[in-house]
Amino acid sequence: MNKVFVSLAAILLLCLSACSPFHEADEICDKTPRIFPDYSGITLPANIAPINFEIHESASAYEAIIGCGDDVPIMISSTDSIISIPIDEWHSLLEKAKGKDIFIRVLLEQEGKWIQYKDIINNVANSDIDPVLAYRLLYPGYEFWDEMGIYQRNLTSFEETAIVENKDFGGQCVNCHSFANRDSKTMMLHVRGKSGGTIIARDGNINKVNPQPESYPRGGTYPYWSADGRYIVFSSNDVHQYFHQAGKKKIEVSDFASDLIVYDVEKNETFTDSLVFGDKYMETFPCFTPDGKTIYFCRADAYKEGMPLDSIRYGLYAIDFDVQNHRLCNLRCIVDAPKEGHSVSFPRVSPDGKWLIYTQSDYGNFSIWHAEADLWLLNIATGETRLMTEVNSNDVDSYHSWSSNGEWFVFSSKRMDGLWARPFIAHFDSTTGKVSRPFLLPQENPQFYNNFTRTFNIPELVKGEIANGKEIINAINIQEAQRATEKR
């Protein structure tokens, strides 16, 4: 590999002007070059890591010129097809280009001639995205638990670190990481197995709790924090997993029963209401509104023995939360998806409380295995919904989370190969509800996704680095050792 990056000062010495390429083009091509990932026609956060890419055009030499207007700070020459953008110059360009377009000009040496392709144009937003993305990495079959962990990626660079890995707990399952208002210091996760429990980090303290009083048949499963970090609303699920011998859906996950419960973190108390707890319905995937006054969730008729799994469908519901009296009231249906032959999962409200994104599939609620799963947008004020055609694909588009400024969201998609879920990022206009073309999470090596065999699960945007991973591990192991001593 032979790459050359030329700084602006060197360019000024070597070229007649800053806009001059390394080589004058012998021919101009009106075709945009094929690159992977396809970073073209997208809107970028002003703090995102370099969008390194591979050129999928045959050539003996490659050049890429990246700039904004007459400002061309980045020129890269390479004998292979991978374009690695220097991080300092990239961030300097983004800072200057806020609210403007940047171009990527590709020149290729083909059969002894330098061919200049049509410029790739992208927009740089005026806003940043939350700088950290937390996710679980595991093999896509979900039946192998020997290598799994929850990790964090710095979105301004390529640094990835482990928060916790299941090897730290004897190979047990770790899942359902969740943050209060995207705060890295207020979080929870589940550890399943002999040392299991719900781990809560808050106010500098880390504790293993059990939000399941004796009168409740099931514990907390899928969580969502109130923005103030006081409450966690859980769905309490009886989950079953099925493996199909044939067909496109390799795995199906379904509830046999589920209810909603609210856990008071300060008082270590759990409460609920008959409106969302009982044998008549199944409630799952709850989320608080930013003001903490409403809980959105998914609801289906109760499962009956022998019922076909593809007949279970969830609608989108809401219920008010009376904080003062720990009371749930005013239950209402927001989107009657079953009436139209569809099912809803993963409602998530925008930070300004105006919009809600949810996943819609043909049936069930574990949409990660449903190729037909798409993202939908609800205008909370008007009740209008629409298919988010800007971001959806012909394969799974499912779990999603908002950035704290409401201008970005990340979602998991299997659009590349139908097997591995990978994180895509899109810009959101909170005034119009319009969404930009999504782009794949940048990696230092653009060939990363061709070789990586684990799936990105539950991508959550976070406002800062999660620095207490080792403390979480130590707290769990110490508490487990204490329990073992007490039993003796």
The contacts of residue 482 (CB under 8 Å, 6+ apart) are none
pLDDT bin (cut points 50, 70, 90) of residue 388 is very high
CA distances from 376 to 1, 346, 347, 357, 389 (A): 44, 11, 10, 6, 9
> Residue 18 has what pLDDT?
40
**270 touches 213 (CB < 8 A):** yes
What is the number of residues in the chain?
488
Give the list of residues 6+ apart from residue 286 with CB closer than 8 angstroms, or none: 222, 224, 233, 234, 235, 260, 295, 296, 297
More confident position, 486 or 89 = 89
For the chain, what percent of residues have pLDDT higher than 70?
Answer: 87
Q: What integer is the mean pLDDT of 344-363?
A: 98
pLDDT, tens only, 190-243: 887 666 788 899 988 888 888 876 667 787 889 999 999 999 999 998 876 655
Read off the pLDDT of each residue in 411-419 and give the average, rounded to a whole number: 95
pLDDT at res. 252: 67
Q: What is the mean predicted confidence (pLDDT) over 446-463?
A: 95
> pLDDT exceeding 90 applies to what percent of the chain?
72
φ, ψ for residue 92, nearest 5 deg:
-65, -40
Which tops the pLDDT comparison, 141 or 197? Answer: 197
* pLDDT tops 80 at residue 441: yes
Look at residue 249 in the predicted model and tell me its pLDDT.
57
The answer to whether residue 265 scores a pLDDT higher than 90 is yes
pLDDT greater at residue 18 or residue 461: 461
Q: pLDDT class for 253, splitting at 50, 70, 90?
A: confident
User: What's the CA gap between 4 and 253, in Å, rounded?
Assistant: 50
